């Protein structure tokens, strides 16, 4: 009997393991290496990693700039996924002007079996300017990390291959699979040129390489592969030292060696193509029993684009307020930024660097008070245990990794398209909350991620915070749930999301974002999910309240709460990186200063926690959150409102320990409005709206400036948060206006409505009429893009604003 039970249990375990839910199945594979132009991998710590490399062969110089990791220096004239659904696939267009080639990558995911399904990818190319030659060398590589094996099945030939190339592989999670690379019907490999007679054996062939790469190093595939090409090329070119005799065509020289080492786990396949071309890569998972071919893509891509477009117009419609003539352009732009945000989702796994003992002198008091644990206060950067994270990334070129406060915004956007995906990502972030309740602001997991960050920025400090935005994704989910189930928000007495009171969602919205959502379809699953994250979330909230607490000095005399005051830890004399607004002007650092943005975020965090606990029926928690929320709101006015300046300000302390207001007109001063913390009748709201709408201060024809144009530091220094326009902050303003101040009756409603209409037009127009790239921020005076590009994270919020 016992044996039978045990056997049954084994079977159950077996079933559970071999048949992951549809949810994780359809998210197993993806373009999860967003720091590369095209890099597919599964959401597994050690597994198959693929990538695409290309370079021009018009001269010998172009090989020194192979395209692989997204890099501003490559000078591409824009690249973006134009359509991308993480569960289905999509299309990406890359304009490589310097090499005169427009590269298109297409991906179709084919569900089936129980190892995450199969996929087909097509790489196409065409000259950007047909009047000029386009001779580009393309390398597709696949490398296997961890257990298992990968073998090249094609008969090797030391002078290259003709016809398809085939690999068979196996790994613990993927089980058995086949990988094939197949030429399109009209490909023309480069065949002519000086000295071609010397290369006849190799001309027109596909070249390859197989190498044994040490564990954990596949991410350096580009270096191994390019080294092989360059070494061979140097050998050949030695024979051509006299320039007057000319050199052979680079296409014949810059080729892989055509060799595989015994036990290779990294393979590269190279084609040097002339003019228009295409080749396909098929990954067939054995358990799915698929036989994929070019028709998978020929038919699959147009079908995918059609359903993508149809659904996009429903999920992200263009608001009626836009002239019809603009709808098409606006939608193409919205599709691209939404797709690139989703195509920017990456899977990261590995160690990170944490310094548990680091503290600035003004933060040191905190340390002394709770250093029971020796290990925690030991200074010095240490490597942590490896962690896994599925996350969107702000910028594929500059910041291809997870950022805590960016992610709340990303998830708001992603959740509109795919509710459950936003929750999968959220869950990974929640899993990073440590036993104290801390999450590192920047998630630099593993060597590949670290290789993109200068050493001085790698270390994370467990006393440092970042604006708590993740709960936005949760309240948005609850709002979707409520609009898909019976009772209305009003009946439930809830005020969800960012706004003091959420506008009920348009009918049918649940159908839109809930298409195929298991959480929106099953209240039980939804509850279970929220339950599973509630505890760590609470721990996280309590960490904020405990570690970022501020001291109430002189202003405390009139503060209604003795406890609710906050100060960012980990600031330097010039930067408060933790606030997310790095070089925004602040007072001098001290243990006694108080930060308005942080207390506002705490009010917001408390409110969202109240909503979540209320939804879960945690009445005691909800009541205590409500109490704290009121106390914080009172103290925002009591501590931070400067009657004299008619604005909200930080608080500083002088040598006599007296506090004073530190006032710098800009995003900081409008925080209680940005997060909808003020009631619509608040007189302070009037003052804020005046500041917002004043062209001498925040108002520009392209959106709100981070710092008043009249501020002495406007545009000064590194000029990061001293004037430039940030789209996420404009989105917060639009959202507050739309959901609260333009929507609810009050003395400033009309003004709020006017500002809403104008601001939205300014922000949306400035973005979508731009061609080529979206940027990290926009110039405070001209609206031109500034700093990193493409930077999809913040600007993608435009896709939401234009639908409201």
Query: Which residues are near ligand 6A9 by CB under 6 A?
Result: 394, 398-399, 403, 405-406, 453-454, 457, 580, 582, 793
Both structure tokens of 581:
């607004």
From the CB of 444, what's the least distance to ligand 6A9, in Å?
A: 9
Q: Which is nearer to ligand 6A9, 394 or 672 (CB)?
A: 394
Q: Which is nearer to ligand 6A9, 444 or 537 (CB)?
A: 444
**DSSP type of residue 701:** B
Both structure tokens of 505:
């969602």
From the CB of 295, what's the least distance to ligand 6A9, in Å?
A: 41
From the CB of 108, what's the least distance to ligand 6A9, in Å?
A: 31
From the CB of 403, what's the least distance to ligand 6A9, in Å?
A: 4
Q: Which is nearer to ligand 6A9, 530 or 581 (CB)?
A: 581
Q: Which is nearer to ligand 6A9, 177 or 405 (CB)?
A: 405
**HEC sequence for 531-576:** HHHHHHHHHHHHHHHHHCECCCCHHHHHCCCCCCCECCCCCCCCCC
From the CB of 347, what's the least distance to ligand 6A9, in Å?
A: 19
Relative to beta strand 101-110, strand 165-171 is unpaired
Burial bucket for residue 562 (CB in 10 Å: 0-12, 13-18, 19+) = exposed
Distance CA 468, CA 463 (A): 14
Q: What angle do CA 193, 198, 201 make, to 5 degrees?
A: 100
Q: Which is nearer to ligand 6A9, 154 or 466 (CB)?
A: 466
Q: What angle do CA 759, 761, 764 make, to 5 degrees?
A: 105
As a whole number of Å, the end-to-end CA separation of the chain is 63
**DSSP type of residue 51:** E
497 φ/ψ sector (left φ>0, alpha ψ -120 to 50, else beta): left
Q: Which is nearer to ligand 6A9, 110 or 341 (CB)?
A: 341
Distance CA 379, CA 260 (A): 47
From the CB of 406, what's the least distance to ligand 6A9, in Å?
A: 5
Q: Which is nearer to ligand 6A9, 419 or 443 (CB)?
A: 443
Q: Which is nearer to ligand 6A9, 519 or 794 (CB)?
A: 794
Catalytic residue list: 582, 776
341, 309, 539, 527: which is closest to 423 by C-alpha? Answer: 527
Q: Which residue of this chain has its Cβ atom nearest to ligand 6A9 in the complex?
A: 580
**Whether the Cβ atoms of residue 517 and residue 492 lie closer than 8 Å to each other:** no
**Whether the Cβ atoms of residue 297 and residue 105 lie closer than 8 Å to each other:** no
Burial bucket for residue 421 (CB in 10 Å: 0-12, 13-18, 19+) = buried
From the CB of 557, what's the least distance to ligand 6A9, in Å?
A: 34
From the CB of 340, what's the least distance to ligand 6A9, in Å?
A: 15
Distance CA 31, CA 39 (A): 5
539, 543, 540, 536: which is closest to 566 by C-alpha? Answer: 543
Q: Which is nearer to ligand 6A9, 7 or 457 (CB)?
A: 457
Q: Which is nearer to ligand 6A9, 141 or 726 (CB)?
A: 726
From the CB of 294, what's the least distance to ligand 6A9, in Å?
A: 39
Listed as own residue / partner, the contacts of 12-21 with beta carbons closer than 8 Å and 24 or more positions apart are 18/114, 19/114, 20/114, 20/116
3-state secondary structure of 654: coil
From the CB of 85, what's the least distance to ligand 6A9, in Å?
A: 24
Q: What's the half-sphere exposure (Cβ side, CA atoms, 13 Å) at 559?
A: 22
719, 718, 691, 688: which is closest to 781 by C-alpha? Answer: 719
From the CB of 681, what's the least distance to ligand 6A9, in Å?
A: 32
Chain position carrying tokens 């990794």: 401
Q: What angle do CA 751, 756, 759 make, to 5 degrees?
A: 120
Distance CA 751, CA 444 (A): 44
Burial bucket for residue 415 (CB in 10 Å: 0-12, 13-18, 19+) = buried
Burial bucket for residue 556 (CB in 10 Å: 0-12, 13-18, 19+) = middle
Task: Compute the 3-state secondary structure of the chain and give helix, strand, coil in percent, each to the nearest 5.
Answer: 40, 20, 40
Distance CA 561, CA 602 (A): 14
**DSSP type of residue 724:** -
662 DSSP β-pair partners: 650
**Whether the Cβ atoms of residue 690 and residue 755 lie closer than 8 Å to each other:** no
């Amino acid at each position: 009997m016992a044996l039978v039970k045990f056997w049954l249990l084994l079977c159950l375990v077996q079933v559970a393991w071999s048949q992951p839910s549809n949810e994780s199945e359809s998210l197993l594979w993806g373009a999860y290496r967003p720091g590369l132009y095209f890099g597919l991998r599964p959401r597994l710590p050690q597994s198959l990693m693929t990538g695409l490399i290309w370079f021009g062969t018009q001269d010998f110089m172009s090989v020194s700039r192979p395209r692989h990791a997204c890099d501003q220096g490559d000078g591409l004239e824009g690249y973006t996924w134009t359509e991308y659904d993480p569960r289905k696939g999509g299309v990406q267009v890359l304009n490589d002007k310097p090499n005169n080639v427009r590269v298109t990558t297409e991906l179709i995911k084919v569900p089936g079996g129980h190892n995450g399904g199969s996929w087909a990818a097509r790489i196409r190319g065409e000259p950007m300017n047909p009047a000029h030659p386009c001779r580009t060398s393309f390398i597709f590589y696949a490398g296997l990390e961890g257990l298992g094996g990968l073998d090249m099945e094609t008969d090797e030939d030391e002078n290259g291959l003709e016809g398809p190339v085939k690999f068979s592989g196996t790994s613990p999670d993927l089980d058995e699979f086949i990988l094939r690379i197949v030429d399109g019907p009209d490909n023309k490999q480069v065949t002519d040129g000086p000295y071609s007679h010397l290369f006849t054996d190799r001309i027109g062939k596909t070249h390859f390489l197989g190498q044994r790469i040490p564990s954990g190093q596949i991410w350096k595939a580009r270096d191994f592969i390019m080294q092989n090409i360059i070494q061979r090329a140097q050998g050949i070119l030695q024979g051509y030292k006299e320039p007057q005799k000319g050199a052979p065509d680079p296409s014949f020289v810059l080729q892989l060696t055509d060799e595989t080492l015994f036990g290779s786990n990294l393979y590269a396949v190279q084609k040097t193509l002339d003019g228009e071309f295409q080749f396909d890569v098929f990954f067939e998972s054995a358990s799915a029993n698929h036989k994929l071919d070019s028709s998978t893509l020929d038919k699959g891509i147009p079908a995918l684009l059609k359903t993508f477009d149809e659904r996009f117009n429903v999920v992200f419609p263009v608001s009626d307020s836009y002239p019809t003539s603009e709808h098409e352009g606006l939608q193409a732009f919205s599709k691209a930024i939404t797709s690139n945000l989703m195509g920017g989702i990456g899977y990261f796994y590995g160690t990170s660097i944490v310094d548990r003992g680091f503290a600035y002198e003004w933060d040191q008091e905190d340390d002394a008070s709770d250093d029971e644990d020796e290990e925690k206060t030991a200074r010095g950067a240490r490597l942590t245990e490896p962690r896994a994270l599925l996350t969107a990334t702000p910028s594929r070129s500059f910041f291809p990794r997870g950022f805590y406060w960016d992610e709340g915004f990303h998830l708001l956007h992603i959740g509109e398209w795919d509710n459950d995906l936003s929750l999968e990502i959220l869950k990974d972030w929640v899993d990073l909350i440590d036993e104290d309740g801390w999450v590192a602001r920047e998630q630099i997991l593993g060597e590949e991620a670290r290789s993109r960050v200068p050493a001085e920025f790698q270390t994370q400090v467990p006393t440092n915070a970042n604006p708590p935005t993740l709960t936005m994704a949760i309240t948005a989910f609850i709002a979707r749930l409520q609009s898909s189930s019976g009772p209305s928000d009003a009946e439930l007495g809830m005020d969800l999301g960012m706004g003091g009171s959420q506008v009920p969602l348009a009918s049918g919205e649940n159908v839109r974002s809930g298409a195929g959502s298991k959480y929106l379809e099953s209240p039980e699953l939804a509850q279970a999910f929220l339950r599973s994250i509630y505890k760590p979330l609470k721990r996280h909230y309590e960490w904020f309240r405990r570690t970022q607490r501020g001291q109430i000095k002189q202003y405390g005399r009139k503060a209604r709460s003795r406890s609710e005051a906050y100060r960012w830890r980990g600031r330097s004399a010039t930067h408060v990186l933790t606030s997310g607004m790095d070089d925004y002007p602040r007072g001098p650092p001290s243990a006694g200063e108080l930060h308005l943005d942080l207390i506002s975020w705490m009010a917001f965090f408390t409110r969202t926690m109240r909503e979540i606990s209320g939804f879960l029926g945690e009445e005691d928690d909800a009541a205590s959150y409500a109490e704290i929320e009121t106390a914080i709101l009172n103290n925002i006015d009591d501590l931070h409102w400067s009657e004299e300046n008619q604005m909200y300000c930080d608080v500083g302390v002088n040598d006599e320990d007296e506090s004073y207001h530190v006032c710098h007109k800009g995003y900081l001063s409008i925080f209680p409005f940005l997060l909808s913390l003020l009631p619509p009748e608040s007189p302070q709201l009037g003052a804020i709206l005046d500041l917002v709408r004043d062209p001498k201060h925040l108002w520009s024809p392209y959106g709100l400036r981070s710092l008043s144009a009249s501020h002495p530091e406007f545009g000064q220094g590194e000029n990061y948060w001293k004037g430039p326009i940030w789209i996420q902050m404009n989105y917060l303003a639009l959202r507050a206006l739309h959901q609260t101040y333009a929507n609810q009756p009050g003395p400033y409603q009309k003004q709020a409505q006017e500002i809403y209409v104008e601001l939205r037009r300014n922000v949306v127009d400035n973005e979508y009429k731009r061609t080529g790239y979206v940027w990290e921020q926009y110039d405070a005076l001209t609206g031109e893009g500034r700093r990193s590009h493409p930077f999809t994270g913040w600007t993608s919020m435009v896709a939401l604003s234009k639908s409201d």
